[in-house]
Amino acid sequence: MIGRFIIGLGVGTASLIIPLYMSEVSPDEIRGTVVAINIVFVTGAQFLSSLVSLALGHNWRLMLGLTAIPSII
């Protein structure tokens, strides 16, 4: 539970700081586009992971193992 709490703090902090930093360093002309693209990609990744989880059913070990593929590549 302590580990999950620490990971939750990290993800929550990153969800706040990354869009804020991107909006500060990007030029005024494309600031909204940069932040919107980030949000679209994060939301799209959550949607795709839900679809994969739905397709695999109760096989959570395979779902967890699939995350190793990008690391190996």
pLDDT averaged per 10 residues in sequence order, the chain, 73 residues: 92 91 93 93 92 88 88 90
Distance CA 17, CA 21 (A): 6
pTM value surpassing 0.85: no
Distance CA 2, CA 29 (A): 43
Q: Which residues contact 18 (CB under 8 A, 6 or more apart)?
A: 38
Please report, for the chain, the start and end positions of each structural domain, with discontinuous segments joined by +. 2-72
Maximum separation of any 2 CA atoms in the chain, in Å: 46
Residue 38's pLDDT is: 93
